[in-house]
Chain A
Amino acid sequence: GQNIDQPTEMTATEGAIVQINCTYQTSGFNGLFWYQQHAGEAPTFLSYNVLDGLEEKGRFSSFLSRSKGYSYLLLKELQMKDSASYLCAVFDSNYQLIWGAGTKLIIKP
């Protein structure tokens, strides 16, 4: 079966750095997305990786290793507004989007 694993919940301190990991086992791979979802709201697009390496976009960076079936989202200079769930999603060989259950990130002052 197809599977995406993320930690259920993480806690970090305002101003710090946090890394949210995602591992996947899918039938083929055509790219990996990270979405941010605030409580009671819709997911918003953060990043897309299809090649190995690090993509940096402001305070957020996303890394991919296709050989390891692994990605992480790195959030720097954490702000209280970064408290949200972060969802990892993978396009399989048929371009079906397989979603993880999300990692709830709690930021403490």
Chain B
Amino acid sequence: DAMVIQNPRYQVTQFGKPVTLSCSQTLNHNVMYWYQQKSSQAPKLLFHYYDKDFNNEADTPDNFQSRRPNTSFCFLDIRSPGLGDAAMYLCATSRGGTGADTQYFGPGTRLTVL
């Protein structure tokens, strides 16, 4: 089945220790998104790639970086995690055609910062 895969599902890191979350997709979608979601809150878009074009949201902290080495993979790097970065991180993809575009989500990675 075509899908969006995230690894790991649960990640524990220490305050200030860099961490990388990964996302892969078999949908061959052009667009990949990274969201941060805290408990009982709306998902917050951090950035997205349209093919290789990177689009950063204005309020995304510099502590968060992303890489998309090819169509299938996208990574979220948190350079120096703080306690406030503990959250669920959701990867999503969309086809990227003109007009409204349904986003399909991976299972998420729950990040704990000790």
- Point out residues on A near B: beta carbons under 8 Å: 4, 8, 30-31, 33, 40-45, 48, 50, 85, 87, 91, 95, 97, 99-102, 104
Residue B101 at the A interface, CB < 8 A? yes
- Point out residues on B near A: beta carbons under 8 Å: 40-45, 88, 90, 99-108, 110
Residue on A nearest B45 in the bound complex, by CB: A97
For the residues of B in contact with A, the DSSP-based class is: loop
**How far in angstroms is the closest Cβ of chain A from B52?**
19
With A30-B99, A30-B100, A50-B100 given, is the CB distance from A102 to B40 under 8 Å?
Answer: yes
Bound Cα distance from A100 to B78, whole angstroms? 25
**How far in angstroms is the closest Cβ of chain B from A2?**
11
Option from B42, B99, B102, B106 in Cβ contact (under 8 Å) with A101: B42
Bound Cα distance from A45 to B92, whole angstroms? 11
